[in-house]
């Protein structure tokens, strides 16, 4: 049970970290793109 559930937990934690990183990086990326286009 533990061996089969551990990889899924790792994948979910990695996806959660990526989601938080995207949420924090997206506004900064949009601001920089708007500044560059202006």
The model's pLDDT over 1-30, given as tens digits with 9 standing for 90+, comes to 556 667 888 999 999 999 999 999 999 999
* Sign of the four-CA dihedral 31, 33, 22, 28: negative
State the pLDDT at residue 17: 96
Strands (E), the chain: none
**What is the rounded distance in angstroms from the CA atom of residue 19 to the CA atom of residue 24?**
9
* Residue recorded with tokens 């089969």: 4
Q: Please tell me the pTM assigned to this model.
A: 0.53
Q: What is the pLDDT of residue 38?
A: 84
CA atoms within 13 A on the CB side of 32: 5
2 versus 33: the higher-pLDDT residue is 33
């Amino acid at each position: 049970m533990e061996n089969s559930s551990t990889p899924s937990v790792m994948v979910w934690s990695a996806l959660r970290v990526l989601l938080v990183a995207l949420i924090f990086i997206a506004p900064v990326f949009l601001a920089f793109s708007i500044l560059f286009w202006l």
